Amino acid sequence: MSASYFQALGIQIVAGRPFSSVDTATSVPVCIVDEAFVRRYLRGRPPLGARVVVRGMGTGRSPLPVRDIVGVAGQVKERPDEFQPEPHIYARRPSAHVSSARSSSWIGADFVPHLL
């Protein structure tokens, strides 16, 4: 998942930064959250630099990685009639090769965050 992922979908990064080439399997795990995530889980706390552990992200790692929030994405509606958007978290899931990574996003019902 790169900056072009968000551009291709028309999702604006409203704070912080998109993923970059420095986000690898050996770097600090990071994520990007959306505005609904900030409202629901951070409740006025500054999002950039907040640290979160997320159960249900399917990493298969134990213990679960602590991810630093490096960006906030604009809100995306899942359906046109959606009045209360679900929170989203975007994370790179590195493959066995440091040079490549798969991109993933999770919707609010799919994960349980724990803020540190």
DSSP string, 74-91: PP--SSTT-SSPPPEEEE
90 beta partners = 32, 105
pLDDT tens for each residue of 78-91 = 677 767 778 888 88
Residue 110 has pLDDT above 60, yes or no: no
pLDDT tens for each residue of 10-42 = 889 999 999 888 888 788 888 999 999 999 889
User: In terms of DSSP H, where are the helices of 14-109?
Assistant: 35-37
SS3 2: coil
Write down the pTM of the prediction. 0.77
30 beta partners = 68
